[in-house]
Chain A
Amino acid sequence: MSHPTLLDNIVDNLPTAVQLKNVKDNYRIVMWNKAAETMYGVPRALAIGRNVHDLWPKAEADRMHAADLHLIAAGGVQEAHDRVAPTMRGDPIRVHMRKVALHDASGEPTHLLVIADDMSAQIAAEGALRDSEARFRSLYELSSDWYWEQDTQFRGTMRTHGALTPSAPAGQFFGHRRWEDANVSPVNGTWDDHIALLDAHQPFRNFEIRVVADDGSLSYRSLSGEPMYGGGDVFAGYRGIGRDITAQKLAEDSLRRGNAELVELNTRLSRTQEQLVQSEKLASIGQLAAGVAHEINNPIGYVFSNFTTLEGYLSDLFAVLSAYQAAEPMCSSPETLARLMALRERVELDFLKTDIPVLIAESKEGIARVKTIVQNLKDFSRVDDTQQWQSFDLRKCIESTLKMVNNEIKYKADVVLSLEPATEIDCLPSQLNQVILNLLVNAAHAIGPERGTITVRSGSDERNAWFSVADSGCGMSRDVQLRIFDPFFTTKPVGEGTGLGLSLSYGIVQKHHGRIEVDSTPGNGTTFTVTLPIRQRTATADAPVVADLALLANAARASARELEPHIRS
């Protein structure tokens, strides 16, 4: 064996297996480098001077040798990308092999160069990658979720088909930004916020969108995504998953709607109950009023009349007294005279003369006040009710009442009007005037020494008309608000209010099948809103509350049935 040449050294250090066969010497191996030793598991000492038949089983050796002969005959280069090669270790390996025929100067083939790279590790890695991709693919094809990718401009580039997802047409996804599609709208956020987040390359979770398909059907999706970085930190776009949440959304909606209905029903029930309590209070006060009015008016009748007569009597008496006084100088007995003067001073006759008329005037005023209270009580029981329902312009009602109370209001407040032009409603106009009057007077009374504002508004929809009286006055605490409709409840000083105004108004509004509501904050003024049906129901006019209750109960039962499946699920 000769000393290794420079070429031998180079070849020995190549990572590629290199062998050289001598065509002229029965294809015996003349060169076998270190990489070949490692790859085939054959030491150089064993390989050199041997041919394939010496090294490998016969079938394998025949195939190899045939291929060698074929290449020498055909000439050129033979290349195999994936060839199974035997090893002396036992397991065959997969190699990338290149065979070249080498020729001498006369063109005669002399040697066969075989170089090979071990591809086993690379091929195994490729296989693993393929398997992983297949798993990934079937995961997204079988799942109801889907995978998507966007480029750096957030345009759709890739999307798997969720097994259960009726995906939006590809044309609306590929090459487009989500917000460019008018049929897509965000549910739990805004496009602006979402775009800002994408621009900042932030991940997002459960961003919900609503998609209207071409056939008008509605679907909801939930999207989660994160930025992708390629080649280090270079932003490459977004990728993420999507999920169809239409069924969940619809169930949620229906549940929410059902819940809202229940809340509304509950509110109506408690309002109706309040009304029942209130109307019961009013009914008993009305009955009381009918009886009491007669009993009170009789004594007031004669007391009032007697005071008038008494005034006359007293003026007669005073006239007589004056006459006596004038006659005093003619009295001959000085003791009598002195006694008279002493008596006069003791009883303060001059004071009596000035005070008695005042006393009588005050007493008469007091009786007049009792008379007003009884009159208000009688208004309650409404036995003298002879009014006719008529269609009347609500605006006119408000304006005429404003004229009536203008004197009382104009020094305390500015009146701001915002009235709907003409709203004809079925009403008892004079009773409605009474309600408006009470609200206006109360508003004026609520305003303190400083000048305030009273705002009167009105409006209507197809079924109801409403008006409101808002003041900038002192407002009411919750406790006071709870009692304002109670008969005889008043916050005004004694003598200024009978405490019947609002309960009377309540009764009138109820008779109109409407409602009166109060909104007040202490220090921030009060707003009363009266809502009245534009047309009065005639058939059920007598039992509206009872009918309402029955309707409410039915609606509640129906709603409960509707909700049941959701609650179970």
Chain B
Amino acid sequence: MPRLLLVDDEPNILKALTRMCWNEKLVPVLPDLKITAFESPFEAIEFATHYPIDLVISDFRMPAMNGVALLSRIRALQPDAARIIVSAFADKEGIISAINDAAIFRFVTKPWIDQELKTAIGAALDHRARAIETSLLADETRLKRGALTAHEAALRRLEIESPGITKVRWDADGGVLLDA
């Protein structure tokens, strides 16, 4: 089940987006999604450090942290998670940094049209799925050619499924060190 993370300081937006994703009366119908929504970008980052995500949809202008900063942080944690910004307002610089820094998949303006946004979400999920498949196939080929050891291939696969798992830092006693 694809995992979707929604971030917007306006709770009604989060609810509307959730309803929209689940609305099967309006094509395109999205696959069943596991949706998690946060009003706070920091909680979203915290979540992203623990759980794998397929797609993040974020607002651009939020009180504590803007969408580009948030998505850049999540991108660092989970590079394969697709990113979309849904924003009521952004200047040219904002859009440029959204593309260059956060490498977003789509920039959608508010008020959005459900059909268009759902199409974008579907496309983002497809795009991510294909990218992962391509990456796994490439690893298989590398494994066969001996360019990759079975251990490394397993680690990479594990990292894709559970981002960050291969980067866990251990202390001398065998305890797991978490980011503050």
A residues within 8 Å of B by Cβ? 290, 293-306, 308-309, 311-313, 315-316, 367, 371, 378, 383-386
Contact = CB atoms under 8 A, between A and B. Distances in A.
Interface string B80-113: 0000001011011000000000000000011111
B89 A297 contact: yes
A363 to B, nearest CB: 13
A371 B112 CA distance: 10
A369 B17 CA distance: 21
Given A293-B89, A305-B112, 18 more contacts: A294-B88, A298-B88, A299-B12, A301-B13, A301-B16, A301-B88, A302-B15, A302-B17, A304-B112, A305-B16, A305-B20, A305-B111, A305-B117, A309-B20, A315-B25, A371-B111, A378-B89, A384-B91
B39 interface: no
Given A308-B20, A308-B23, A311-B25, A298 B91 contact: no
Contacts of A300: 110-111
Nearest to A375: B109
10 contacts: A290-B89, A294-B61, A297-B110, A300-B110, A301-B110, A304-B111, A308-B26, A309-B16, A312-B26, A383-B91
A309 B19 contact: yes
B175 to A, nearest CB: 44
A57 to B, nearest CB: 130
A302 B10 contact: yes
A174 B112 CA distance: 94
A452 B26 CA distance: 45
A312 B19 CA distance: 10
Contacts, number: 78
Contacts of B25: 311-313, 315-316
Interface residues of B, number: 26
A386 B92 contact: yes
B88 A293 contact: yes
Counting chain A CB atoms within 10 Å of each CB, which of B15, B91, B114 scores highest? B114
Interface of B: 10, 12-13, 15-17, 19-20, 23-26, 61, 86, 88-89, 91-92, 109-115, 117
Contacts of B26: 308-309, 311-312
B27 to A, nearest CB: 11
A315 B23 CA distance: 11
A249 B112 CA distance: 74
B33 to A, nearest CB: 15
Nearest to A385: B92
Contacts of A302: 10, 12-13, 15-17
Contact of A306 (B16, B24, B86): B16
B110 to A, nearest CB: 4
B35 to A, nearest CB: 14
A190 B62 CA distance: 80
Contacts of B19: 305-306, 309
A77 B12 CA distance: 147
A308 B23 CA distance: 9
Nearest to A378: B89
Contacts of B92: 383-386
Contacts of B24: 312
A146 to B, nearest CB: 80
A237 to B, nearest CB: 87
Nearest to B108: A301
A294 B89 contact: yes
A305 B89 contact: no
B114 A309 contact: yes
B130 to A, nearest CB: 28
Most buried by B among A306, A378, A386: A306
B114 A305 contact: yes
Nearest to B93: A383
A385 B91 CA distance: 9
A333 to B, nearest CB: 34
Contacts of A290: 89
Contacts of B10: 298-299, 302
Which of A301, A303, A383 has most B Cβ within 10 Å? A301
Contacts of A312: 23-26
Nearest to A316: B25
Contacts of B110: 297-298, 300-301
A528 to B, nearest CB: 31
User: Which residue of B10, B88, B114 has the most chain A CB atoms within 10 A of its CB atom?
Assistant: B88
Contacts of A296: 88
B22 to A, nearest CB: 8
Contacts of A383: 91-92
A300 B112 CA distance: 9
Among B86, B109, B111, the most chain A Cβ lie within 10 Å of the Cβ of B111
A384 B110 CA distance: 15
Nearest to B25: A312
A298 B92 CA distance: 19
Nearest to B21: A309
B83 to A, nearest CB: 19
B112 A301 contact: yes
A308 B112 CA distance: 11
A502 B73 CA distance: 45
A291 to B, nearest CB: 9
B78 to A, nearest CB: 26
Nearest to B117: A305
A293 B26 CA distance: 28
Given A294-B89, A309-B23, A384-B91, A301 B111 contact: yes
Nearest to A370: B111
B121 to A, nearest CB: 13
A305, A315, A384, A385: most-surrounded residue (chain B CB, <10 A): A305
B159 to A, nearest CB: 35
B133 to A, nearest CB: 31
A65 to B, nearest CB: 135
A303 B12 CA distance: 9
A443 to B, nearest CB: 31
A469 B151 CA distance: 76
B54 to A, nearest CB: 21
Nearest to A310: B19
Contacts of A309: 16, 19-20, 23, 26, 114
The 5 closest A-B pairs by CB, nearest first: A312-B25, A297-B88, A302-B16, A301-B110, A294-B89
A293 B89 CA distance: 7
Contacts of A385: 92
B21 to A, nearest CB: 10
Contacts of A294: 61, 88-89
